[in-house]
A = this chain, B = another copy of it.
């Protein structure tokens, strides 16, 4: 039953967006609204369940896309990861907005979303780790990091299990990650409406630029 409600809610999410109505979902399931509260303690609770599912779906899709790239080619893996994330996001714009858009008013993402939320980042972390281990990354220039920034990067490196990845590369990974989701947000939230017609080409350019910025080596690049 819980799965039934989530399924219908996902459909509503896909068509109407984040302002899904618990009553409408209940109607579609064939229940009265109060009955839904047997399974979800509130509308936010239902939303949280969808958020967690969406993170997992995104991570699965990205993981699968990334796995198709040759293991020893970090550039190809990065591009595959980025394309995989974008493909899922374009196919699920409302879910994307839920995950990476403005926070739903009055909705505070609870603790149990941070685990799933970090899964996509772990995929990039793994690429960087493998690249460093396999010497498939050009040595990062000696960026001077402010002490607070360096400390944050060390913490992040521990959290993401980035063994030998230097802090200077970690922060560059964060820059690339920011670029990726900035690009997706621009595209999905309609900021390209007036002007950009070839969003595919722009995205490819951006991700290639980030690959260069990360210093990822590639067989054919």
Contacts and interface: CB of A to CB of B under 8 A. Distances in A.
Interface of A: 16-19, 97-98, 100-103, 105-106, 109, 114, 143, 145-146, 148-149, 151-152, 155-156, 159, 171-172, 174-175, 178-183, 185-186, 189-191, 194-198, 200-202, 204-206, 209, 213
A152 B202 CA distance: 9
Contacts of A182: 178-183, 185
Given A97-B102, A182-B179, A185-B182, A202 B149 contact: yes
Contact of A151 (B152, B172, B190, B197): B197
Given A175-B209, A195-B159, A103 B202 contact: no
A81 to B, nearest CB: 16
Nearest to A117: B191
Nearest to A172: B209
A178 B189 contact: no
Contacts of A148: 197-198, 200-201
8 contacts: A16-B105, A97-B102, A102-B189, A143-B205, A148-B201, A152-B195, A152-B196, A209-B213
